Amino acid sequence: MSDIKERAPNQLMIFGIVGGLLGIYLTYILPLAGEQLGEKVAIFLKTIAPVAGALGAMCAVVWGADAVRRVAKYGLGTGVPSIGQIAMGMGIVAAMFGLAIVKTLVLAGPIVALITASIIGFIIGWFAQNVIKMKIPVMIRCMTEIAAAGTIIIIGFSAAVAGNFEFANIIKLVFDNGVILAVFWVGAVAVLHPFNACLGPDEKQKRLLYLAGSTGAITMAIVGIAATMTLGASGVITLIIGIILWLIFYKKFWDEVYNDAASVVGTGLIPKTEA
């Protein structure tokens, strides 16, 4: 383990928070900037803005997957999926709170959501560690990180479908038509799947992060399909970029698997036995 260079948790945390928030805020700022720059630029920026939200959420997926990896390594006893689901559960509660509570101060929404998620995650982590007594040293920190990543994922993908992160807008375009369920579930799978698929004695962070990139990208593609319904052209761009990123990351993951495997052999077809 020690001879393999790994990305530090803090590095990934900064990547997730900064990348995630940047993407989310770009969905709001790009159209505003466009209005200052003239009509043609405005239309262009307004079309590509929602894509940034999905890209930001992808950064959070990578961060969240690594946090899941660090905590689930200890063996939760309930399977890795449970932690992905609690991440989204905490994330969605915090996201709705953050976006709704700020009212006219729209820009503060995602940050309030992030802070709320961290607090809820910290409390659940503290209780898991000290009341339920799970005896996992990284529990509190990882639960906080997972909740925060969950809320960025929810807001990011919701912004990609709704165009921006104003709560009224998200209610109309994400909640009323049920897209939030897809965001919730596919987002949860994106976070939990990488470690669930890679766990084991030969698990390597690099391979897991590439897989996290690919699950994030496929989520982006699915969100793109939903966004095509709500936003039209922006959705198509999200869908296409999602598929391209998925192909890139999946190829990288594939290469890593080939690299790490002792040998790769074809088993051929199952031989037909004679009766």
Partner 1 sequence: MVAIDPTIITNILLIAISGTLICIAVHFIPVGGAPAAMAQATGIGTGTVELAAGSGLVGLITASYMYANEPTASMVLVLAAGAMGSMVMLASTMFAGSLIYAFGVGVPFASAQIKKDPITGTRQDIYMSKGTQGQGLPTVCFVSGIIGAALGGAGGGLIYYVLVKLYSQSVLIGPSAAAVAGVFTMGVFYVNAVIPSYGVGGTIEGFHDPKFRRVLPKDAFTSFVVSMICGVVAVMIGGGLI
Binding site for partner 1 (CB under 8 A): 76-79, 81-83, 85-86, 88-94, 96-97, 100-101, 103, 116, 120, 123-124, 127-128, 131-134, 167-168, 171-172, 175-176, 178, 180-181, 184
d(C-alpha 64, C-alpha 3), whole Å: 24
- Please give the single-letter amino acid code of residue 45: L
**Tokens read off for 175:** 């909640």
Least spacing, CB of residue 183 vs partner 1, in Å: 10
| Residue closer to partner 1 (CB basis): 105 or 264 | 105
Least spacing, CB of residue 77 vs partner 1, in Å: 4
| Residue closer to partner 1 (CB basis): 175 or 250 | 175
Least spacing, CB of residue 86 vs partner 1, in Å: 4
Residues 60, 149 contacting (CB under 8 angstroms): yes
- Please give the single-letter amino acid code of residue 112: V
| Residue closer to partner 1 (CB basis): 83 or 159 | 83
CA distances from 59 to 27, 144, 164 (A): 15, 17, 18
Helix axes 233-260, 39-72, angle to 10 degrees: 30
**Nearest-10 Cα torsion for 161, 164, 165, 171:** -50
Least spacing, CB of residue 130 vs partner 1, in Å: 10
| Residue closer to partner 1 (CB basis): 38 or 137 | 137
